[in-house]
Amino acid sequence: MTPRVVAVWTCIALALLSSALTLPDTWRWLSEQHTELEELGPADRIQAPGFNNRLPVGGFDFFHANVHRGDSVYVLARPGTTVRGVDFPTGARTFARYYLLPAIVVERPEDATVVVGIGRDPRELGLRYRSELRQDPFYVARIRDPS
Phi–psi pair at 39, nearest 5 degrees: -80, -15
More confident residue, 63 or 43: 63
What Cα–Cα distance (Å) separates residue 53 from each residue in 81, 83, 113? Answer: 10, 6, 27
Q: Is residue 147, in this structure, part of any structural domain at all?
A: no
User: Which tens digits make up the pLDDT trace of 79-104?
Assistant: 887 666 778 888 888 878 888 889 99
The predicted pLDDT at position 121 comes to 95
**96 domain-assigned:** yes
- Tally of residues, the chain: 147
Residue ranges making up the domain that contains 81? 56-142
pTM for the full model? 0.70
DSSP 8-state secondary structure symbol assigned to residue 87: B
Ranges 21-35, 48-62, 93-107: which has the least confidence: 48-62
Q: Count the domains in the chain.
A: 2
Q: 4 and 30 share a domain?
A: yes
- State the pLDDT at residue 48: 66
Q: Which residue has the higher pLDDT, 133 or 54?
A: 133
Q: What percent of the chain has pLDDT over 70?
A: 88
